[in-house]
Amino acid sequence: MKIGKITCWVLRIPFTFPLVKEQQHALLNFVEVETDDGLKGHSASTYPLRHGIREFINREVAPVIVGMDALRPEEVRNRLFWATARKYFQGAWNCAASLIDIALWDVKGKALKQPVWKLLGGAHAELPAYITFGLPRYSVDELIEVARMLIKDGQTRLKMVVAKGSNPYDEILGQPTDADIVQDAARVRALREAVGPKIELMMDANKGATYAQALRLAKLCEPYNLTWFEDPVLQADPRLMAKLRTQTTIPLATGSTATSDLMYMREYLVREAVDFLQPNVRDIGGYTQGIKAAALAQAFNVPLAMGGNYPHLNMHLHAGVPNGGRIEFHWQGWKCIESTFDNAPGPVNGTVTLPTAPGLGFTPKSGMLELAVD
C-alpha cells in the first residue's frame, strides 16, 4: 500500500466561546493522505505557522514521500528528516511531520480495520476528561458562571488560563506583569470558593511566566488544592521547572504544545522536573514519537496527562498506553474538530469513550473544503 497523494489545506473554522457573543475563527491545517488503492487518512490542528506548514507539505514533503509504504510511518519520518531537515527538527517541520504521521496511522487503522488506540496497545477504552474553559477575557463572575454551566453538564475537571498578560494576537498567550499574577491568584481563589472542594481545578501559564512570577503564583495558589500547574515558566525550561518543583506543593505538568523533541521529555524526567508529562501528538511527531515519550515516562513511573489541545487526536495515545491519563478538551480545538468531522467523541460526565471505528474513528464532514483559504 503506497502513498499516492498528500495534500494540506488551511481551513477557516467558525466557533464560539461560552458567553462570548461574537463569532471566533480558527485557521486549521487539514491534511489528507490518500493511498494508491483509495484509502484516506486525515489529521488536523491549528498552529501559528499554518500557511508555512501548508506550503511545506504541499511543495516539499509530497515529492519526498509519495510512493512510500503507507504502513511504515517510522520509515516515512526518517526519510522526511534526512530529505528536508537533516540536522534538527522543530517549528513548522515538526508540526508538518506530526500531522503526516497521524494521517498515516489513520490509514493503518483503516487498512487493518482497527482503531488507532488498539494498535498502540489498547490499554484503556475510557479515559478521564477535563475542560479548558477559563479564558482571561472572562470577568470573575463570568468565569464562575461558565464553570457552573460545565459542572451542571456533568464535567468534574476544569482548567483555567493564567499568566496571559496583554497580547492582541492570541486569546491565551502573552507576557504577564507582576500585577497580572496577583490578579490570577485572586481568580483561582474565587473559582475554588465558587465550585467547592470536589471539583478538580488546574491552571496553565502556557510557558509565559518568568520563574519569579511562576513561584509567586504557585505560592499564592497552594491553598486551593490544584491538580497541577501546567507550563509554569518561560519556554517550559527543564532547569527552571526542576527548581520550581522543589519550591511548591502544587504538582507540575509540562511537555505540551510546541514541545517537539523527545530530548526535552528526557530532560524533564532526568531532572525530576515534572509530576505529569504531557506529550502532544500534534507537536511531538504524531503517534510514532508520542508512544516513545509515553514509554520514557513509564520508565520513570511518571503518569501522562494531555495538555496543548486537540483531544480527538491525543486520546488514542493515552488509551493505547498503560500510563495514559486525563484528556484535555480545550474549547477551541474541541469545537473545531466537532465542526469539521463526523462522529468525534466528546466528554460525558467527565469521561470520554474511545471510538471503535477503524483509524481515528471520525471522518471529515462533506463540504468542509469549502472553508479553505488562500
Span 161-217, pLDDT tens digits: 999 877 666 677 788 999 999 999 999 999 999 999 999 999 999 999 999 999 999
pTM: 0.96
Cβ(203)–Cβ(159) under 8 Å? Answer: yes
pLDDT of 167 reads 65
Q: Give phi and psi for 127, each to the nearest 5.
A: -140, 150
Cβ(30)–Cβ(42) under 8 Å? Answer: yes
Mean pLDDT of the region 261-268: 93
304 beta partners: 277
- Percent over 70 (pLDDT), the chain: 99
Mention every residue, 6+ apart, whose C-beta is less than 8 A from residue 169: none
Q: Could you tell me how many residues make up the chain?
A: 374
**What is the overall mean pLDDT for the chain?**
95
Mean pLDDT of the region 252-266: 89
Per residue in 41-78, pLDDT (tens digit) is 999 999 999 999 999 999 999 999 999 999 999 999 99
What domains sit in the chain, N to C, each tagged with a CATH number? 3-113+366-371 (3.30.390.10), 117-363 (3.20.20.120)
What is the C-alpha to C-alpha distance for residues 80 and 13, in angstroms, rounded to an integer?
A: 29
Per residue in 21-48, pLDDT (tens digit) is 899 999 999 999 999 999 999 999 999 9
Cβ(326)–Cβ(306) under 8 Å? Answer: yes
pLDDT of 256 reads 86
DSSP alpha helix (H) spans, the chain: 50-55, 62-65, 73-84, 91-112, 116-119, 140-152, 178-195, 211-221, 238-245, 262-270, 281-284, 286-299, 311-320, 331-340
Mean pLDDT of the region 112-118: 98
Per residue in 298-308, pLDDT (tens digit) is 999 999 999 99
What is the C-alpha to C-alpha distance for residues 115 and 93, in angstroms, rounded to an integer?
A: 27
Q: Is 267 exposed, middle or buried (0-12, 13-18, 19+ CB in 10 A)?
A: middle
- Residue 168: CB atoms within 10 Å: 5
Per residue in 307-353, pLDDT (tens digit) is 999 999 999 999 999 999 999 999 999 999 999 999 999 999 999 99
Q: Give phi and psi for 235, each to the nearest 5.
A: 55, 15
Q: Which cell goes with 152?
A: 451542571
